[in-house]
Amino acid sequence: MLSEYLLEVRNLKMHFPIYGGILWRKVGTVYAVDDISFNIRAGETLGLVGESGCGKTTAGRAVLRIYNPTSGDVLFEGKNISLLSRKQMRELRRDMQMIFQDPFESLNSRHTVGEILEEPFIIHNIGSPEERKVAVKNLLRRVGLSENAVSLFPHEFSGGQRQRIGIARAIALNPKLIVCDEPVSALDVSIQSQILNLLLELQQEMKLTYLFIAHDLSVVKHISDHIAVMYLGQIVESADADRLYETPLHPYTQTLISAIPVPDPTVKKKRQILEGDVPSPIHPPTGCRFHTRCPVAIERCKHEIPVLKAAPDSKNDSHRVACHRVGF
């Protein structure tokens, strides 16, 4: 039986051991991603949001098996990619691609744009040299760049243009899933909207599915069908995009939404300021990981880990939240 989801992530954990001392023994563990689950339907976008250091990028890389997960399952089109060999993963990477956060560091500065975009075709042995060159020019036009860019180097482009090159590389082999790792966070606000519009156009044109990682909820709002909020390696709330913005239930989500600027100077908006810093993922707090900064925490929050469960008035369990205070 075929799954209704293109991507299914079940109980994913990504722990990094820490080694030290004279004998170089394991002295600790970084709990970067600690038991998260989510699903994405074909053609839809899931926004994964949270503060820097909460494990979003690590989760995205574990989904693509750039990192081998500590435990958990990642199913792509019903196939558990956690069990695939290196050769099988290489074949599957045609369907699973990534757009990186830094559009300069992710491009080889020693290669021309033509060489960068031709590389995916060479790796997968697709087309003749002449056909590849035609495909590269088509890719450049597709992302709004001139064909003359093939002979230029990455440093000769602006940040927004370099990100367009990164997008062109990601769509070169007509993938089904693209993990977008904060693709606009390093760009000016005016350029961000152009890149987001380009991603939306490509999604409609190519029937793409996105896992869109960001720390800015205002950015995620315009591109996501569903949103999952992460804090210190765990998902604390997930819902349809409109529902999450209209009715945020977790105190952390409420704080993130209150930080979204309103483009109207006459509107007064009350900001919720979080006290303290994000705890270390090496020694996460017991119980609810947010309780050390939560303004409404109770004694139960310090000792009992909240379960991600359906909100009281959620339809089809589409709105889920991990908070002991919800339903009081």
Q: What's the CATH code of the domain at 49?
A: 3.40.50.300
| pLDDT exceeds cutoff 80 at 265 | no
Is 146 among the domain residues?
no
Residue 92, token pair as written in the block:
């599957």
Q: How many domains does the chain fold into?
A: 1
CB contact at 8 A, 44 and 56 = no
Q: Residue 270: which pLDDT band, with cuts at 50, 70 and 90?
A: low
Is 123 among the domain residues?
no
| pLDDT exceeds cutoff 80 at 274 | no
Q: Residue 221: which pLDDT band, with cuts at 50, 70 and 90?
A: confident
| Number of neighbouring beta carbons within 10 Å of residue 231 | 24
Please compute the mean of the pLDDT values over residues 147-160 and round it to a whole number. 92
| pLDDT exceeds cutoff 60 at 328 | no
Is 196 among the domain residues?
yes
Residue pointed to by tokens 């989500």:
253
Domain that holds residue 237: 7-95+173-321
Helical H segments across 21-144, by residue range: 56-63, 86-92, 113-123, 129-142
Is 59 among the domain residues?
yes
Amino acid at residue number 176:
K
Is 1 among the domain residues?
no
Q: Is 252 left (phi over 0), alpha (psi -120 to 50) or beta?
A: alpha
pLDDT of 2 reads 57
CA distances from 8 to 4, 48, 211 (A): 10, 14, 12
Residue 206, token pair as written in the block:
């190519």
Which residues are CB-neighbours of 324 under 8 A, at least 6 positions away?
Answer: 288, 298, 300, 301, 304, 306
Is 127 among the domain residues?
no
pLDDT tens-digit readout, 36-51: 999 999 999 999 999 8
pLDDT of 266 reads 63
- 163-95-316 Cα angle (round to 5): 95
pLDDT of 161 reads 93
| Number of neighbouring beta carbons within 10 Å of residue 110 | 9
The C-alpha atoms of residue 86 and residue 168 are separated, in whole angstroms, by: 25
pLDDT of 111 reads 94
Give phi and psi for 35, each to the nearest 5: 70, 70
CB contact at 8 A, 292 and 285 = yes
| pLDDT exceeds cutoff 90 at 189 | no
Is 122 among the domain residues?
no
Q: Which helix (H) or strand (E) holds 148?
A: none
Is 147 among the domain residues?
no
pLDDT of 269 reads 63
Please compute the mean of the pLDDT values over residues 283-310 and round it to a whole number. 91
Give phi and psi for 95, each to the nearest 5: -95, -10
| pLDDT exceeds cutoff 60 at 160 | yes
